[in-house]
Amino acid sequence: MFTLLKLELEKLFRARSFYLSFIVLVGFVVLMLWGFYTYAARKTGGEAVEQFKYTYESKQYFNGLTFALYSLLFSFTLLLPIFVSMSAGSQIAGETRSGTLRMICTRPISRASLVLSKFIVTALHAGLLLTFFIGLNLIVGLIFVGWGNLELYPGPLNLVDAPGKIMRDDALMRFGYAALSGTWALLVIAALALLCSVVFESPVQATVMTIAAYLTLYIVGRVEFFEHLRPYFFTTDMEFWRDVFKPDIPWANLWHYACVCGAYTAGLLLATVLIFERKDIVT
Amino acid sequence: MWVKLILLVLFCLMVAGAVHFAKPRESEERTSSSNSSDVLRLLTWNIGYAELEDDTRAHDKDLPAIAEVIRRENPDAVALQELTGKAQLNALLKLLNGAYRGAVAQQGRGDRFEAVLVKDTGATFTTVPVGDRYALAGSFRSSSEIVLVSAHADAFNASRRRTYTEALMDWAQARAQSATVFIAGDFNFELKAANETNLYTDNLKHDSESYSHIMRSFRDLGRAAGDTAINDRRIDYIFGPTQPRNIGRVTVLRDAAVGRMDHWPLMVEVSF
C-alpha cells in the first residue's frame, strides 16, 4: 500500500495539471485583489461614502481577512471543485487512456488498494490546493489590504442572520478550520470523480460528467422551483464547511453535515471499488 | 477485502454520526407565555394580496377574518400595512367593537396606507415622513410611553428600502429618547441566509446595510419565529429596544391568512 501511495504521489507531482491548478488559483487571487481593492476604494472613500454609511463604511471592514473570506467563498463554489474533479477524474481513466491500467492490474496488488491509494493522493491534492489558496489569500490580504477583525453582516456571503464579529486571532484559527472542513467537503467531489473515472474510459469524460453533475445539482438547488429537493443534494450538504466562519460555530450542525459528506464519500468509494473489481479491463 | 470492509465501516460510522448529530427540528415559535404582569403584545401584519391579483391592497371581504385574528390574539397594539385607506380602517375598527383606536398614515407616493391600532383610549397617532412615503406611529400608555411604528419599505428596490430605513431610523432614534419605541412592519429585506447564492450583490449589500443599521439601536424581536410570507421569506419584523427585556411568545400565525394574502401576522410578547 505504501509503495502504491509513493508511486501515485510521484505521478501527481510530475503531472503538469497539478502545477497548473496552483497557477490558476494564483491568477484568481490576483483578480480578486484587483476587484476587491478597487471596489473597496470606490465604496469607502470620496464621493461614494454614502454607499457604506453604517456598516461597511469602515475601511477596517475591507481588510485582509475579509478579502480572504470573500475570495475563498467565491472560489470554493466553482473553481476548486473543477480542479478536484480534474485530478480525481484522471486517476483511473487516465491510466486507461494511456494504456497502463492493464499492466498495473497485473501486478500483485488488489484493485481496491489501487482505488484507495489513488483516492488518498487526490485527497492530498485537494487539501494542498485549499491550504495553499487560504494561505495565499491571507498573505496577499495582509500585504496589500491590511489586518483587522472579521466583520460579518447578514446578506452578502449568507453566513449570519445578525451582524457579528470575529476577532483577528480567532478569525485566523477559523481559516485553519476551513482548510479542514473545506477539504472534507471536496472529498465528495473527489469520490464522485473517481467513480466516473472507473465508469468512463476517458479522463475528460469522467471530469466533465463530475462537473456536470455538480453544477446541475448546484444550480437546481438555487432555483426556487426545486427548493424541496435541495436538502437531498450533496451540493447542499457540502456547504457545511462555511459554518466555521460563523461567530458561534454550530458544532452539532457542522458534525452532522460532515458525517453526511463522509457517508457520501465512503459510499461512492465503496461503489467505485465494487465496480472496478468487476470491470473487464481491455486496454 | 480489508479495503472494502474499512469503507463499509466508515460509511456506517458516518451515517450513524449524521443521525447522532442531526439537530432536532427547531421549534419556530417560543410558545411559553411570559408570566410577568406587565406584558406588551404587539402584532404586525401586511394584509395585502400577492402580486397575482389586480388589486394587491387589502380586500374589504377579508376584514371580518382580520378582526377575528386580532380579537383572538388580543394584542395591545397592531401595525397593519397595505390598507386602502381610512374607510377600510374604520370598517375594521367597527368589527372590533370599539376595543381599539386607530389611524392610517398620510398618503405617500403609493396607493396604500400603513395603520396602527391601539387598545388604549388615550392613544395618539403621528405621521412619520420617510422620504416620499409615510409611516405611522401610535403612542400609548401615558405613564411609561410606548410608541409603535407601522412601516412598509419598498418591495422592489433595495436601494429605496435603505433610504427609507435610514429616514425611519433617524425619526425612531430621536423618539427613543423619551419613549420606548417599537418598529413593526414589512421591510422586504431579503436576508435569509439559505435563500440566495453567496455571490455579492449591491442589493444584498443594501438590505444588509439597512438591517444592520436598525440592529445598531434595536433588537429583532421576531427572529425566532421564522418565515412571515410565502416562498419562505422572513420580511416582516418587529424591532424593539436593545435593553434586556424578556421576550415571551414569538409566533407567526400561519393559519391567519385568508384570500390571496401573501403574509402572515407576526406576534411578539415583551414583558417589562
B76 three-state secondary structure: coil
pLDDT at B164 over 60: yes
pLDDT at B272 over 90: no
* Nearest residue to A156 via CA among B161, B189, B191, B210: B191
Write out pLDDT tens, residues B200-243.
Answer: 677 777 888 888 889 888 999 998 888 898 877 889 999 999 87
The answer to whether the Cβ–Cβ distance between B231 and A74 falls below 8 Å is: no
pLDDT at B13 over 70: yes
- One-letter-per-residue 3-state SS of chain A: CHHHHHHHHHHHHHCHHHHHHHHHHHHHHHHHHHHHHHHHHHHHCHHHHHHHCCCCCCCCCCCHHHHHHHHHHHHHHHHHHHHHHHHHHCHHHHHHHHCCHHHHHHCCCCHHHHHHHHHHHHHHHHHHHHHHHHHHHHHHHHHHHCCCCEEECCCHHHCCCCCEEECHHHHHHHHHHHHHHHHHHHHHHHHHHHHHHHHCCCHHHHHHHHHHHHHHHHHHHHCHHHCCCHHHCHHHHHHHHHHHHCCCCCHHHHHHHHHHHHHHHHHHHHHHHHHHHHCCCCC
Q: Indicate which of B4, B7, B25 best probes the interface with A, i.e. most A CBs within 10 Å of its own CB.
A: B7
* Angle in degrees, CA A204, A206, A208, rounded to 5: 65
**The three three-digit cell numbers of residue B245, written as one number:** 427585556
* Angle in degrees, CA A188, B25, B256, rounded to 5: 125
Mean per-residue pLDDT, A156-160: 76
Write out pLDDT tens, residues B95-127.
Answer: 998 899 999 998 877 788 999 999 988 889 999
- The residue among B265 and B142 whose pLDDT is bigger is B265
**The three three-digit cell numbers of residue B205, written as one number:** 449589500
Q: Where are the alpha helices (DSSP H) in B74-157?
A: 86-95
Cα distances from A237 to residues A81, A134, A241, B128, B154, in angstroms, run 14, 21, 9, 46, 34
Average pLDDT of chain A to the nearest whole number: 87
CB A43: neighbour CB atoms within 10 A?
19
Write out pLDDT tens, residues B55-98.
Answer: 888 899 999 999 999 999 999 999 999 999 899 999 999 999 88
Least Cα separation, residue B219 to chain A (angstroms): 10
DSSP at B236: E
pLDDT at B142 over 80: no
Position A109 scores a pLDDT of 84
Q: What percent of chain B has pLDDT over 90?
A: 44
Position A270 scores a pLDDT of 94
Write out pLDDT tens, residues A30-52.
Answer: 998 888 777 767 766 554 445 55
Residue type, A36: F
Do residues A183 and A84 lie in contact, with contact meaning Cβ atoms separated by under 8 Å? no
The answer to whether the Cβ–Cβ distance between A54 and B216 falls below 8 Å is: yes
Do residues B12 and B19 lie in contact, with contact meaning Cβ atoms separated by under 8 Å? no
pLDDT at B37 over 70: no
Position B196 scores a pLDDT of 52
pLDDT at A241 over 80: yes
Q: What percent of chain B has pLDDT over 70?
A: 89
Write out pLDDT tens, residues A180-239.
Answer: 999 999 999 999 999 999 999 899 999 999 999 999 998 888 777 787 888 899 999 999
Which of A56, A162, A273 has the CB atom closest to B7's CB atom? A273
The answer to whether the Cβ–Cβ distance between A158 and B196 falls below 8 Å is: yes
Reported ipTM: the value is: 0.79
Do residues B165 and B214 lie in contact, with contact meaning Cβ atoms separated by under 8 Å? yes
The answer to whether the Cβ–Cβ distance between A256 and B23 falls below 8 Å is: yes
* Angle in degrees, CA B69, B88, B142, rounded to 5: 70
Q: Nearest-CA residue of chain A relative to B207?
A: A155
pLDDT at A244 over 80: yes
Position B100 scores a pLDDT of 92
Chain B residues within 8 A (CB-CB) of chain A? 1, 3-4, 7-8, 10-11, 13-18, 20-23, 166, 190-191, 193-201, 204-205, 207-209, 211-213, 215-216, 220, 223, 231-232
- The residue among A4 and B9 whose pLDDT is bigger is B9
The rounded distance, in Å, linking the Cα atoms of B140 and A112 is 75
**Domains of chain B with bracketed CATH:** 34-271 (3.60.10.10)
Position A49 scores a pLDDT of 47
Q: Nearest-CA residue of chain B relative to A275?
A: B4
pTM score of the predicted model: 0.75
Element holding B12 (H helix, E strand): helix B2-21
Distance of alpha carbon B219 from its chain centroid, rounded?
Answer: 12
Count of residues in chain B: 272
Least Cα separation, residue A271 to chain B (angstroms): 9
How many alpha carbons fall within 13 Å on the CB side of residue A229?
13
DSSP at B39: E
Position B29 scores a pLDDT of 42
pLDDT at B195 over 60: no
